[in-house]
Structure 1
């Protein structure tokens, strides 16, 4: 793997015929393989101010090619064999010897004194980050955040969801066939929960699209008397990315009934499908796609690395759909098979809160206008109100660790991220610096004379933050392995009863974050 940070660097490719090709790795996300027929890759490393140095990677035993894994929000370029264009599977008879090798060497070679010298890292030193606002940086907007439409009638779940002040609730409809030819009627199931919240409606068409859209039009016209429709996400069940003809047809039919909600199109799948099947944007009001961090790898570190690639998906969209708003809908921790993703135990943990904050911070940097997190009340979502014994994993997700047993509860830690964001709707994001997104996330919000900074430790080790402030004191709420058990049932009580006041020293507040801790810092704004 070459890291995503290698985008734009100079490369020299040696092909299998020993010819040399010079170029660079793509800055924007390449829809298809950027490099083919590879025997060796040599790329420039180090800063411009440093002596020129290259790193050579050589491959033997097969033909290799490169894939831009940022298409799936992985933060890497992957070089692999065998080329996907060759037929497979390949029969291999008993006794066949297979030998492949990958070698890496610096060019020119390192000076003799540096050979064999490894950097010593003291694991017992607590990492420390001094976090402050980026000087003279423009403020950013938070994306409009929504959730899947609640299907439960549970009053408590509805109240908890209402406290998050969702910008929209997501629902979907698709035509189901009963005999392979005649489609059922579209069923648009608006629930009565939170009727005042606008809806984001996803439509899945078949080749009977005209009849389905007429049916949908009548239902939507009736429903829009009670519910505002924020946007319509238009898909075709048999297409990886929505063809322009369906968008044009939908506009003709829906506009004839006075339904003026903006129509977005793209893919319900990964960004890859959109990037490889770029739509005609002439009739589009916006572009939509979904993301999840576990297409190729499933460990915590790989999930955290996706925060670097998420903004690049939006930047790439703007290269072929300039000026159009972007809705990333839905965002899920696990890949989806259909609309509902399978559960991931980490979604109910403190790590889930850190992942959520990391995604929101990345979407703000990307300038994404809206996003939907699935689901609302389910183990794939914010809370689980359907059982009295949720397998609720505490901080480290290691059930056998001391003090880390299952806890009965219903409110997941990531709920608190959205609850803390809800207080700052229509506020602005202040760009921050001084932290490493592979270890922690920091997101600062300002609204009027109030300032809020959210921190999440993404690692299994403690770390320390020096929080820059213009105030003498700040108010801190900590959700970690020591306080998690108090957060399970009554969010508002937890948010008000567990507060601490910390004093600043030389305009810095020292805050210790336990493994996977989530911390909220409130203060008055000095702007």
Structure 2
């Protein structure tokens, strides 16, 4: 037997592989004979506003013949109270078992403390599943194909299903009642089985007299008789559509000189001005932004079901003689849309939500607006690099779900940001209005790779516009010191040369986070390739002679060789081919 503290706990037993986080709380990328079964199984602590607590610890591994065990634990001490936690793992070639224990000396307020299981889309999508309920009754059902607006499975004690590759799995849960939600609503590439049921009150309190004890056991009942489909060589065209208009967004608050300068420098297709009418100075700020934002505008109004007429009447004089691609009335009803058409004749009026696709998906009826809108960010349930990359995978399925359900086929998506702009699910007014702190990756290439992957995922004839980030600042495309971020370089190039051009999305079999945007120019084709996984891969280029290539760096695009083309982790490359 050997024992070690591991910062990169890769565990492998007879074809069953997983990666254990350094703190030992989460096992990720659980795969069997090459098929990813689960994005992860792990212990999480969510605060009263659904924020995920950091759990500092270091796992200790013990390796012996046919088995690996790991243990970890730590303590939290915050305003919600104290919490002591521990997790123990056992991994063999036929099983992954996790046990967790948590207790508090003074009491701890939480929305969720316990295990979650993230079923990988490729393995589970549309597959039949037998759900055992807490009373022993077995329900035969399926993982949803389209994005389910509400939980597809409730009251879960166990689940049994066969994956797409043919592996037969059983999950058993102890210590709490579990249920499943479709995380594609928030752009995660998984279905999540979690505790505790959302129908129970939250926040709830872990009292000093109680102890949380839970178990999740994954059993491999049988293996596939054939290996998963091997990766192909060249890319396949997934879909073709006109390239959308790309823009950026000014959030509620005062406009700055650097924002106005950045809007002019970037030369994007539009600027979305977000208005929060609950702010006392909203009208003065909106007027200043309209004056500062060169080029076409879109006005996005939060909570537009209340006081819409008065808001629009106050705003209308500011919009005279300004080209507007739309006025979005988030959370509006029919009366609000009718008032907007009366006050702003000839203006394209949108409805929808300033929050996640979830809110749009869960509504049974939207007003008959000209377009519908929603926003997005890749860090709702996790903030690691891999999670950001993962959120580009289900975007095509989100669009398919929207088209199957929504009455309006014109879509404008965004603003999209790395962190929450505001939290509609927080349990206090302050929590709902609070935006996330700036993400240090805003100025890194990973942010640009996420932009490219998101554009590829949302490329569709019905998607008219996509808005990203802010023009400048710590959440912007250009830093306050004037330095362009990689995302700024990429968006400016895509916007200036590609808007309205015929574009195709390319995908490579076996690489769900490798995507290409091939755009037809007058005398050449441009190919933007983005890779959103922490590995380097060889890339087979489309047929033809690609004469030049550039790679995006923290300071902009630089030349690179075309021959023997490969791409690194979270990278973006740009190639040209004469036509």
Bin the TM-score by the shorter chain.
Answer: 0.7 to 0.9
Asked if the contact 2:419/2:435 (under 8 Å) is kept, the reply is no
Asked if the contact 1:307/1:437 (under 8 Å) is kept, the reply is no
Task: Give the Cα–Cα distance (whole angstroms) in 1 for the partners of residues 307 and 285 of structure 2.
Answer: 11
Indicate whether 1:512 and 2:570 are aligned.
no
Indicate whether 1:313 and 2:398 are aligned.
yes
1:136-190 deviation line (CA, Å, top 9, x unaligned) = x66222222111257426886355212xxx22111133434769xxx97895434
Query: Which residue in 2 is equivalent to 1:100?
Result: 214
Any residues of structure 2 matched to 1:207-222 within 5 Å, and which? Answer: 207-217=306-316, 219-220=317-318
Any residues of structure 2 matched to 1:251-270 within 5 Å, and which? Answer: 251-254=341-344, 259-270=345-356
1:429-456 deviation line (CA, Å, top 9, x unaligned) = 2232325555533221112331011123
Query: Which residue in 2 is equivalent to 1:58?
Result: 172
Any residues of structure 2 matched to 1:315-330 within 5 Å, and which? Answer: 315-330=400-415
Query: Which residue in 2 is equivalent to 1:446?
Result: 520
- Of 159, 177, 185, the residue aligned with 1:41 is 159
Indicate whether 1:345 and 2:448 are aligned.
no
Query: Which residue in 2 is equivalent to 1:360?
Result: 455
Query: Which residue in 2 is equivalent to 1:72?
Result: 186
Q: Identify which range, 197-206 or 60-69, moves more after superposition.
A: 197-206
Indicate whether 1:199 and 2:294 are aligned.
no
Using the size of structure 1 for normalisation, the TM-score is 0.75
1:231-259 deviation line (CA, Å, top 9, x unaligned) = 01013xxxxx33333223322333xxxx2
Query: Which residue in 2 is equivalent to 1:404?
Result: none
Indicate whether 1:148 and 2:249 are aligned.
yes
TM-aligned CA deviation for residue 212 of structure 1: 2.5
Query: Which residue in 2 is equivalent to 1:224?
Result: 320
Distance 1:170 1:88, change over 3 A: closer
- Of 249, 252, 260, the residue aligned with 2:339 is 249
1:424-480 deviation line (CA, Å, top 9, x unaligned) = 222122232325555533221112331011123334443332323322x51111234
Query: Which residue in 2 is equivalent to 1:30?
Result: 148
TM-aligned CA deviation for residue 97 of structure 1: 5.0
1:346-403 deviation line (CA, Å, top 9, x unaligned) = 110111121111111111158522111120122212111x33xxxxxxxxxxxxxxxx
SS of equivalent to 1:201 = strand
Asked if the contact 2:513/2:533 (under 8 Å) is kept, the reply is yes
Indicate whether 1:139 and 2:240 are aligned.
yes
Distance 1:27 1:517, change over 3 A: closer
TM-aligned CA deviation for residue 335 of structure 1: 1.1
Query: Which residue in 1 is equivalent to 2:359?
Result: 273
TM-aligned CA deviation for residue 98 of structure 1: 4.1
Asked if the contact 1:307/1:358 (under 8 Å) is kept, the reply is yes
TM-aligned CA deviation for residue 39 of structure 1: 1.1
Q: Which has the higher contact order (CA 8 A, sep 6+)?
A: 1
Q: Gapped runs of 5+ residues in structure 1?
A: 120-126, 236-240, 388-408, 488-494, 503-508
SS of equivalent to 2:373 = strand
How many residue pairs match? The answer is: 444
Task: Give the Cα–Cα distance (whole angstroms) in 2 for the partners of residues 210 and 152 of structure 1.
Answer: 31
SS of equivalent to 1:329 = strand
Task: Give the Cα–Cα distance (whole angstroms) in 2 for the partners of residues 376 and 154 of structure 1.
Answer: 6
SS of equivalent to 2:379 = coil
Query: Which residue in 2 is equivalent to 1:124?
Result: none
Asked if the contact 1:382/1:412 (under 8 Å) is kept, the reply is yes
Asked if the contact 1:312/1:366 (under 8 Å) is kept, the reply is no
Query: Which residue in 2 is equivalent to 1:170?
Result: 272
Using the size of structure 2 for normalisation, the TM-score is 0.69
Asked if the contact 2:272/2:298 (under 8 Å) is kept, the reply is yes
Distance 1:92 1:233, change over 3 A: closer
Query: Which residue in 1 is equivalent to 2:577?
Result: 523
In terms of fraction of residues, the more strand-rich structure is 2
SS of equivalent to 1:456 = strand
Task: Give the Cα–Cα distance (whole angstroms) in 2 for the partners of residues 291 and 202 of structure 1.
Answer: 15
Query: Which residue in 1 is equivalent to 2:474?
Result: 379
Distance 1:461 1:2, change over 3 A: closer
SS of equivalent to 1:289 = strand
Task: Give the Cα–Cα distance (whole angstroms) in 2 for the partners of residues 415 and 41 of structure 1.
Answer: 45
Asked if the contact 1:331/1:374 (under 8 Å) is kept, the reply is yes
TM-aligned CA deviation for residue 339 of structure 1: 9.3
- Of 9, 15, 21, the residue aligned with 2:133 is 15
Task: Give the Cα–Cα distance (whole angstroms) in 1 for the partners of residues 260 and 409 of structure 2.
Answer: 38
Q: Identify which range, 355-364 or 84-93, moves more after superposition.
A: 84-93
SS of equivalent to 1:423 = helix
Asked if the contact 1:71/1:313 (under 8 Å) is kept, the reply is yes
Indicate whether 1:157 and 2:262 are aligned.
yes
SS of equivalent to 2:539 = strand
Indicate whether 1:189 and 2:243 are aligned.
no
Q: Identify which range, 21-30 or 357-366, moves more after superposition.
A: 357-366
TM-aligned CA deviation for residue 332 of structure 1: 0.6
- Cα RMSD between the aligned structures? 3.3
